[in-house]
Chains A and B, each alone.
Chain A
Amino acid sequence: MDLLAIPRLVFEFAVYLLTVLPDLLPIILALATPLALGALCGVLNERSGVVNIGIEGMMLMSAFFGYLTGFALHQTVGSAVAIWLGIAVAVGVGALLGLLHAWLSVSVRADQIIAGTMMNIAALGVTGYLNRLIITPSGRGGAGVIPPFRIPPELADLPVVGPILAMFLDQGPIAMSVIVFVLVLQFGLFRTRWGLRTRAVGEHPKAADTLGIDVFRQRYLNVILGGALAGLAGAFLTLESTGSFQNGMTGGRGFIALAAMIFGRWTPVGSFLGALLFGTATAFGVVVSVRPAEGDLGVILRSIPTFWYAALPYLLTVVILAGVVGRSVPPAADGVPYAKEGKA
């Protein structure tokens, strides 16, 4: 080991990252999709003043019921139709769970952390039980996955441009829709009437109330819409990504989504970038074992047990939530139920 050992390793690492980029880029968006949709769900909820830590459970329930729909129907209506019906069911289940969370948080004024925790625990139990009751004994498979869009090989093989195009376009419809949702919600939140009212009820509900805005209605609307997005994230897991259902398959993505939301300071675009960061961490963990590095760097990277790579997104979550990214300020009325005075 000479003096230049460290700088050389850093240089080698940079070169390595560049060489694996064509493998890395196309899988980032797919890995980031459920996180991004979950984070958007969080943004919609918390911007209107409702804390939702039950995104994980909403995703899992939607993933299961979406899968179940495809599983039950694909032999009668065909795979393609069954998958799309499954996606619709997943979104609907997400919206229904959103309605439940809104009812508990807004009308009943229950503790929102407890409500979310209940959602997560109930989701694990319900899906685990029904999975064992219906799907496992049948021994049959599901409806499969939606075929991803493929860009023509001559485009994909272009240097530099190819992998970047692949990153956004070599994807399934749900993954690609994320970009649309991010842009629409970013615009909607900051440039439309709905967005202005959402931000107002999340920051100072009483002020909004004195201007004749229905705080309850606005919060219900947002929590239900958010639930639908969490449902879409669930549909992605079973009907676009894996084509199967496993117990607890969300694997903490609902919580990482919240970290992405905080990283993105409760903005849609920021949350999306946060999700991409987590997606990149996951993708790196995959690529490092598929395309090992050579030389000293390879020795070092191989000497790190593989579970550390798998744990990378979770470690990143801890780091971000511990505030390394800088303190970000949540909406002022986040998690505070609104009650009108003197009107019981």
Chain B
Amino acid sequence: MKDGPTAGSARPVLEMRGITKRFPTGTLANDGIDLDVRRGEIHALLGENGAGKTTLMNILYGLLVPDAGEIRIDGAVATIHDPADAIARGIGMVHQHFMLVPVLTVAENVILGQEITRAAQILDLAEAGRRIRALGARLGFDIDPGARVSGLSVGQQQRVEIAKAVYRDVRILVLDEPTAVLTPQETREIFGVLRALRQDGASIVFISHKLDEVLEIADRITVIRRGRVVGSRRPGETSEQELADLMVGRSVSLRVDRGTSHAGAPALEIVGLRANDDRRHETVRGVDVTVRAGEIVGIAGVAGNGQDELIECLVGLRRPTAGAVRLAGRDVTRASVDRRRDVGFAFVPADRHRYGLVLPYTVRDNLVLTRYAERPYVGGLGTFIRQDAAIDEAARRLIAEFDIRTPSERDPVSTLSGGNQQKVIVAREFRQDLKVMVLDQPTRGLDVGSIEFIHRQVIARRDAGVGVLLVSAELDEVLELSDRVLVMHRGRIVGEFAASEAQRDRIGLLMAKGAAA
């Protein structure tokens, strides 16, 4: 850090000095990190997936023990063995995956661990409710202490997490990628809450890889790359471009140059497709889409308008009730997943933990998951025997080509960061002999470097003659990548725009209302 501790109010509340952490797998997640956070500031911690931001904050919160380094709070050395120590010192953390108990109420979640009780340990939920409401009013949000957390939206759950920290008199609040799961509207609301907290004198550490948000909310920005601090900036003195370059360690292009598409013969034809969801409600209600070879067609839409079921019909995970799907002219409406892949079909799922990866398996096994039974991965007697040498070689080649950050090809894929897990899927799916690709939010939760990389790969495949169908709730991504944009609303395609005439506002309106006003 360039700014050393100074006198008065600028004196750091929190100083972390020389924090180093090496995981048993050998990854050096934090390599002598220095960080200081002042009273009443919002301090952004910016870095790519796997740069070590979360590790650093888990050390601060007592979830991990550092190998070296010290933490000072108000100038005094603090040893933090577990979260209880951290809480006692006024440190609070909102984890990326919320630490809320879904079956409990808001009040129960907030007071858990520091319960308000009357005699004989009996909970005083009425008093808890009063305090939580007052706290919500102070920070400017409505909160219903009696509501069950499982029934709340993601944005509301996040406010419960913040309420948990504030209820414990938080002085240093860490938020780990708080906006990753929020809509733009919810993001604005949470920023309001954070500003109110800063007004109250709390210090906030805001972990993110979204450049625009960091520039909007932060007072200071510390950039971390591969476990080291590579720079510290104030929002007024820097730009998205500079931060992106710092984060990635090279010059990054934030806008993809899509070039022009040369659409050929139909690669994917969806004709009059209808399908039901698991509760037997018809959610795909007559969809006709043609994707030609060498073009990217984007489907924009608010989540839950039938996109999931549509994609499952294309992949072969769900049987449509009517209509047909053709891949390169062949009817595959009732074909198995495997059969579709043989024709030249690839799929990048949105939920990489449920689909796409076998988390406990090694990176190399995940990389050959769709072709493990083909030569050269099997061979020998009657081609039954797994050929480890060939698998290793292929895995090492893909790891290098797609810049997958993993200690080795034999580590479980579950130990990789989210961005690197996504790269494993992309490396496997983006084969040479493809005809059609379906991408379901392919860059969800990824940082600029990874997004740039994946976008380039998508465009390269398009230029090689692959038909690409991109489904995403993130309008930015759809607009940036697609040659044509379709809008899906309540199971139907309600609008089509050529890339040139794509108007953000009209599309946004169609997504929300289903008809242009």
B-binding residues in A (CB < 8 A): 191-194, 196-197, 199-200, 203-204, 206-213, 332, 340-344
Contact = CB atoms under 8 A, between A and B. Distances in A.
Given A208-B113, A343-B64, A203 B102 contact: yes
A210 B61 contact: yes
A218 to B, nearest CB: 11
A209 B104 CA distance: 16
Interface stretch (B1-9, B43-51, B118-126, B139-147): B118-126
Contacts of A203: 101-104
Most buried by A among B115, B120, B121: B121
B24 interface: yes
Interface string B74-116: 0000000011100100000101000111111000100111110
Given A193-B123, A212-B83, A207 B24 contact: no
4 smallest A-B Cβ distances: which pairs? Answer: A212-B84, A211-B113, A207-B99, A193-B121
Interface string B38-73: 000000000000000000001001011100000000
B117 interface: yes
A192 B104 contact: no
A190 B99 CA distance: 20
Given A192-B121, A196-B104, A210-B63, 12 more contacts: A192-B117, A193-B121, A196-B108, A199-B104, A203-B102, A204-B101, A210-B95, A211-B83, A212-B84, A332-B102, A341-B64, A342-B58
Contact of A209 (B83, B108, B121): B83
A206 B112 CA distance: 13
A197 B121 CA distance: 11
Contacts of B104: 196, 199-200, 203
B23 interface: yes
A192 B64 contact: no
A207 B95 CA distance: 10
Contacts, number: 77
Nearest to A333: B101
A190 to B, nearest CB: 9
Contacts of B121: 192-194
B82 A212 contact: yes
Interface in B221-258: none
A41 to B, nearest CB: 21
B488 to A, nearest CB: 32
Contact of B63 (A193, A208, A342, A344): A342
A176 B104 CA distance: 32
Interface residues of B, number: 31
A192 B117 CA distance: 8
A199 B64 contact: no
A193 B117 contact: yes
23 contacts: A192-B123, A193-B115, A193-B122, A194-B121, A196-B108, A196-B112, A200-B101, A203-B101, A203-B103, A204-B99, A207-B99, A207-B100, A207-B101, A208-B101, A208-B112, A208-B113, A211-B112, A211-B113, A211-B164, A212-B87, A213-B112, A342-B23, A344-B24
Contacts of A206: 99
Contact of A210 (B24, B99, B120, B122): B99
A307 to B, nearest CB: 42
A197 B100 CA distance: 13
Contacts of A342: 23, 58, 63-65
- Of A206, A209, A211, A340, chain B has the most CB atoms within 10 Å of the CB of A211
Contacts of B87: 211-212
A193 B113 CA distance: 8
Contact of B112 (A197, A332, A341, A343): A197
Contact of B101 (A199, A340, A343): A199
Q: Which of B95, B99, B113, B122 has the most CB of A within 10 A?
A: B113
A168 to B, nearest CB: 26
Given A199-B101, A207-B101, A210-B93, A341 B63 contact: yes
Contacts of B99: 204, 206-207, 210-211
Nearest to B64: A342
Interface in B129-178: 164
A132 B36 CA distance: 73
A210 to B, nearest CB: 5
B123 A210 contact: no
A200 B103 CA distance: 9
A343 B65 contact: yes
Contacts of B164: 211
Nearest to A206: B99
Contacts of B123: 191-193, 196
B6 to A, nearest CB: 33
Contacts of B65: 342-343
A343 B64 CA distance: 7
Contacts of A193: 115, 117, 121-123
A107 to B, nearest CB: 17
A211 to B, nearest CB: 3
